[in-house]
């Protein structure tokens, strides 16, 4: 019981991370496809107020994994050493360049470019690292595919966020490009689902319960993607800004959940399970009460606060 | 180089780079909170000017500290998988508490602190600065708790080679925690105080923004004058509470191989292999005095009574400690000199003293880094003192992988450091004049972020 609750906590952290840092990494990648300097800058600034809070979920997820499943933490991370180091290096460049751009340092243009490339590299390397864990540490085409899929998903989220935050031609453009990114993401995802069965650690769909949960979650994902595709280029109705990002969030979350369903309780293929890696009871009680029960709601509240203070449309860009 | 050696170098580089930033930003966040609080109460434009200028210095340093801190978290699992698996049940929850009670708080309110000025109510602004400074203090609290447990472990048992908590209160309030916490707090206050006083003194020398500069120098020196005597006492108390439990660290930081030296080694070039000092400068009797014995009879332990495999690196431990100690003497001297000048009403005309202050700006950061080198290098060859050897905790990585990350982090950190210095110099050159509320209208280019609406 305690173990499953903590698995849930870790899962919530990583899902929050995928969605929140997903959009802000995606905005970073989108900066690379934008030519206009003013728009680039307002895109960076739309990220500046929130990236720190979004990244909290990565740190919290990693620490929760360490505290709850120390054996897994010490085994999984060295497995994906190189891609994770690349993730860290690019997150550093990203964080620093965001602040340098928005504090109006010199060389703003170069830092904006650095921000874009670092976002791209971080997204790709995150997907690559996920792929490595499925491929049991070896690097192969599947890892590349996984990297591309994650990048496309983040980019789609980034455009959905930009559409929501901007107005005028910037909003239109974000809608058009967001639709393309969503379509690419969907195609890559289908490819991932087909090729995952031929990796070293195929999905476990051997019971009817697993199959039906897996299928229902994938249906949700399809629904989310379709909703985003349809509404991305609309601009009249009030829902035109919320449905694309909502649909994409549903899609990303359900795909990740589907993969978890097909893997549980294996943390690292082939046979490191949650029960084998779990911390002693005394530790689990501490983290469940101290971190999960008392503090997680507060962390969520801070996140909501940070996003609410700066809600509304961007002013810069154009009209 | 061996895998352990390489992994240790990587950790040393990444953790020292990280620490240089919280060394300033923890103290600065408290300073910002106090200054904004005074502005909120008084409405004095100079307070707003100070808040805005120092926030600029704070902002980028804070961001670098955060991202470089994330690296440390990952390294525990990436490079030190054995450590992660064995100490996870104890260290994991402590760092977890750091993330939820500090990291998340800072992250939630930093946006308002940096970008909310003029767009949210003053009360909200003050609340945000308060939360950020509470976050930075809590953050150092949990980190010191975790590190102190590694120095003086308590409240645990070992099951199948894994350290498991038995009594959380004893784990967190382990024998060295409370004293080290106060010592760390003193350290970050001092380093921020000297940065503030040093940059303020630069404007005094240039004759620019005098009201701003005087207040900055005055506050910086005032904090230093109060904290430095306490800090020297606290440093002694840390030694008194921690070193009896870590005799090999004490021997290494005093540079003694053979036992029985009642003197105090001022300068030392140690030879670790031959277990002796190639060159040393010994002050007779002073070692005994340092140990609170004026009769010249007490001698600290010597390192040769420990097996060679259990000895820390003397050069790193000795010089780390000496750098911290000598830096503290400089800080004490500056605070003392300033107090004398202030009493003689010559503080604002003493130009040589102003120049001295400018040069002294990084002294607190240097002291903190020296102190951490002493604490960490002196604990070797253990990760958990007397319990878990560093060589038993390292991940089984391919040497090429670790070379890649060592080079990657080193190159990137040099670039980031240069970028921050350039930013710092540029911000100081441009100066606080643009941050005064009265100049608000004529600064369309440099005022950050007007782009985001509320």
The residues spanned by each domain of chain B are 3-260+300-442
B379 Cβ contact partners less than 8 Å away, ≥ 6 residues apart = B150, B151, B246, B249, B312, B385
- Spatial separation of the C-alpha atoms in residues B363 and B352, rounded to whole Å: 17
Answer yes or no: do A70 and B451 touch at CB < 8 A: no
Answer yes or no: do A60 and B100 touch at CB < 8 A: yes
CB-nearest to B84 from A70, A92, A98 is A70
Residue B382 per-residue DSSP state: E
Taken in order B255, B260, B264, B265, is the CA torsion positive or negative? negative
pLDDT at B446: 39
pLDDT at A31: 93
Determine what percent of chain B is predicted with pLDDT higher than 90: 61
Distances in Å between the alpha carbon of B180 and those of B185, B378, B437? 9, 15, 41
Answer yes or no: do A280 and B159 touch at CB < 8 A: yes
Residue B410 has pLDDT above 90, yes or no: yes
Residue A317 has pLDDT above 60, yes or no: no
pLDDT at A105: 62
CB-nearest to A96 from B92, B416, B446 is B416
* pLDDT, tens digit (0-9, with 9 covering 90-100), for A209-225: 889 999 999 999 999 99
Q: Mutual orientation of helices B22-42 and B45-78 as an angle, nearest 10°?
A: 150
- Spatial separation of the C-alpha atoms in residues A63 and A69, rounded to whole Å: 10
CB-nearest to B451 from A42, A68, A76 is A42
- Inter-residue contact B416 to A88 (CB < 8 Å): no
Residue B1 has pLDDT above 50, yes or no: yes
pLDDT class of B439 with cuts at 50, 70, 90: low
Q: Which residue has the higher pLDDT, B115 or B146?
A: B146
Q: Which residue has the higher pLDDT, A53 or B451?
A: A53
pLDDT at B11: 95
Average pLDDT value over all residues in chain A: 88
The mean per-residue pLDDT over the stretch B246-250 comes to 89
pLDDT at A316: 52
The beta-strand segments (E) located in B370-419 are 382-384, 388-389
Task: Report the DSSP beta bridge partners of residue B388.
Answer: B384
Taking the Cβ of residue A292 and every Cβ of chain B, the question of whether any pair is shorter than 8 Å is answered with no
Residue B448 has pLDDT above 70, yes or no: no
Peptide bond into A265 cis (omega under 30): yes
Answer yes or no: do B449 and A58 touch at CB < 8 A: no
* pLDDT, tens digit (0-9, with 9 covering 90-100), for B295-353: 877 777 888 888 988 999 999 999 999 999 999 999 999 999 999 999 998 888 889 99
pLDDT at A70: 92
CB proximity under 8 Å: B 164-183 to A: 164-166, 168
Residue B260 has pLDDT above 60, yes or no: yes
Which of A5-9, A100-104, B52-56, B217-221 shows the lowest per-residue confidence on average (mean pLDDT)?
Answer: A100-104
Chain A residues closer than 8 Å to B86 by CB: 70
pLDDT at B172: 94
Q: Of B311, B320, B318, B319, nearest to B382 (Cα)?
A: B311
- CA terminus-to-terminus distance, chain B: 55
Q: Which of A46, A68, A103, A167 to mutate to test the interface with B (most CBs of B within 10 A)?
A: A103
Residues A127, A174, B112, CA angle at the centre, nearest 5°? 80
* pLDDT, tens digit (0-9, with 9 covering 90-100), for A158-202: 999 999 888 888 888 889 999 999 999 999 999 998 888 777 677
Which of A243-252, B135-144, B250-259 shows the lowest per-residue confidence on average (mean pLDDT)?
Answer: B250-259
* pLDDT, tens digit (0-9, with 9 covering 90-100), for B77-129: 999 999 999 999 999 999 999 999 888 888 888 888 888 877 888 898 999 99
Q: Which of B58, B90, B95, B107 to mutate to test the interface with A (most CBs of A within 10 A)?
A: B107
Peptide bond into B381 cis (omega under 30): yes
Answer yes or no: do B452 and A306 touch at CB < 8 A: no
- Spatial separation of the C-alpha atoms in residues A311 and B80, rounded to whole Å: 41
* pLDDT, tens digit (0-9, with 9 covering 90-100), for A22-54: 999 999 999 999 888 888 888 888 888 888 888
Taking the Cβ of residue B104 and every Cβ of chain A, the question of whether any pair is shorter than 8 Å is answered with yes
Q: Which of A16, A37, A102 to mutate to test the interface with B (most CBs of B within 10 A)?
A: A102
Average pLDDT value over all residues in chain B: 89
Q: Which residue has the higher pLDDT, B449 or B25?
A: B25
pTM of the complete model: 0.90
CB proximity under 8 Å: B 376-435 to A: 395-397, 401, 404-405, 408-409, 412, 416, 419-420, 422-423, 426
Virtual CA dihedral for A146, A148, A153, A154, nearest 10 degrees? 110
Chain A residues closer than 8 Å to B448 by CB: 102-104
- Spatial separation of the C-alpha atoms in residues A274 and A265, rounded to whole Å: 6
What is A2-309's CATH superfamily?
Formate dehydrogenase/DMSO reductase domain (1.20.1630.10)
Q: Which helix (H) or strand (E) holds B278?
A: strand B276-283
Q: What's the 3-state SS for A1-19? A: CHHHHHHHHHHHHHHHHHH
């Amino acid at each position: 019981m305690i173990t499953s609750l903590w698995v849930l906590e870790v899962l919530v952290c990583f899902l929050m991370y995928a969605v929140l840092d997903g959009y802000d990494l995606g905005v970073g990648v989108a900066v690379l496809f934008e030519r206009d300097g003013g728009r680039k800058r307002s895109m960076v600034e739309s990220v500046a107020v929130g990236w720190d809070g979004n990244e909290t979920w990565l740190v919290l997820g990693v620490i929760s994994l360490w505290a709850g499943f120390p054996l897994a933490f010490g085994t999984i991370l060295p497995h994906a050493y190189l891609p994770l180091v690349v993730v860290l290096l690019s997150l550093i460049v990203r964080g620093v360049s965001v602040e340098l751009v928005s504090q109006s340092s010199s060389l703003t243009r170069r830092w904006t470019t650095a921000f874009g490339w670092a976002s791209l590299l971080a997204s790709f390397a995150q997907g690559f690292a996920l792929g490595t864990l499925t491929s049991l540490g070896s690097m192969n085409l599947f890892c590349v595919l996984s990297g591309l899929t994650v990048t496309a998903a983040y980019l789609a989220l980034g455009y959905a966020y930009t559409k929501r935050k901007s107005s005028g031609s910037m909003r239109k453009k974000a809608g058009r490009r967001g639709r393309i990114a969503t379509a690419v993401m969907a195609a890559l995802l289908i490819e991932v689902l087909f090729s995952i069965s031929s990796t070293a650690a195929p999905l476990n769909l051997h019971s009817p319960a697993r199959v039906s949960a897996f299928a229902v979650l994938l249906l949700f994902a399809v629904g989310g993607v379709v909703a985003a595709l349809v509404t991305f280029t609309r601009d009249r109705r009030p829902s035109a800004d919320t449905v694309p990002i909502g649909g994409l969030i549903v899609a990303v979350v359900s795909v990740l959940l589907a993969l978890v369903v097909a893997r549980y309780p294996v943390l690292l293929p082939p046979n490191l399970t949650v029960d084998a890696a779990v911390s002693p009871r005394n530790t689990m009680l501490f983290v469940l009460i101290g971190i999960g029960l008392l503090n997680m709601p507060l962390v969520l509240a801070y996140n909501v606060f940070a996003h609410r203070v700066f809600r509304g449309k961007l002013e810069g860009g154009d009209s | 180089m061996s895998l352990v050696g390489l992994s240790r170098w990587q950790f040393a580089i990444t953790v020292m780079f990280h620490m240089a930033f919280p060394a300033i930003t923890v103290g600065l966040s408290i300073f910002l909170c106090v200054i904004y609080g005074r502005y909120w109460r008084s409405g004095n434009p100079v307070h707003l000017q100070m808040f805005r200028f120092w926030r600029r210095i704070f902002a980028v340093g804070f961001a670098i500290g955060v991202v470089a801190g994330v690296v440390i978290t990952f390294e525990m699992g990436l490079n030190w998988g054995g450590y992660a698996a064995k100490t996870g049940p104890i260290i994991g929850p402590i760092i977890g508490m750091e993330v939820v009670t500090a990291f998340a708080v800072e992250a939630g309110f930093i946006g308002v602190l940096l970008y909310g000025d003029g767009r949210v109510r003053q009360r909200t602004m003050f609340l945000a600065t308060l939360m950020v400074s509470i976050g930075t203090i809590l953050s150092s609290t949990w980190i010191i708790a975790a590190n102190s447990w590694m120095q003086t472990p308590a409240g645990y048992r070992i099951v199948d080679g894994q350290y498991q908590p038995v009594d959380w209160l004893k784990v967190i309030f382990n024998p060295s925690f409370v004293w080290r916490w106060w010592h760390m707090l003193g350290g970050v206050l001092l380093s921020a105080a000297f940065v503030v006083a040093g940059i303020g003194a630069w404007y005094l020398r240039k004759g620019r923004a005098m009201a701003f500069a005087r207040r900055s120098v005055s506050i910086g020196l005032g904090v230093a004058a109060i904290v430095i005597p306490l800090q020297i006492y606290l440093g002694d108390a840390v030694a008194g509470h921690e070193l009896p439990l870590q005799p090999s660290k004490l021997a290494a930081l005093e540079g003694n191989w053979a036992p029985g030296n009642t003197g105090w080694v001022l300068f030392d070039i140690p030879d670790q292999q031959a277990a002796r000092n190639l060159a040393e400068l010994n002050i007779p009797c002073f070692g005994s005095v340092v140990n609170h014995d004026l009769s010249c009879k007490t001698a600290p332990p010597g390192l040769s009574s420990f097996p060679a495999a259990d000895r820390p690196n003397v050069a790193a431990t000795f010089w780390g400690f000496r750098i911290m100690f000598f830096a503290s003497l400089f800080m004490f001297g500056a605070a003392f000199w300033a107090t004398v000048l202030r009493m003689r009403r010559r503080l604002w005309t003493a130009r040589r003293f102003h120049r001295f202050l400018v040069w002294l700006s990084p002294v607190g950061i240097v002291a903190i880094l020296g102190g951490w080198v002493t604490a960490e290098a002196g604990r070797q060859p253990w990760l958990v003192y007397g319990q878990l050897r560093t060589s038993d905790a390292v991940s089984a990585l391919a040497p090429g992988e670790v070379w890649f990350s060592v080079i990657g982090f080193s190159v990137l950190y040099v670039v980031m450091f240069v970028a921050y210095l350039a930013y710092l110099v540029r911000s100081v050159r441009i100066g606080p004049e643009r941050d005064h509320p009265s100049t608000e209208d004529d600064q369309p280019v440099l005022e950050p972020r007007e782009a985001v609406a509320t």
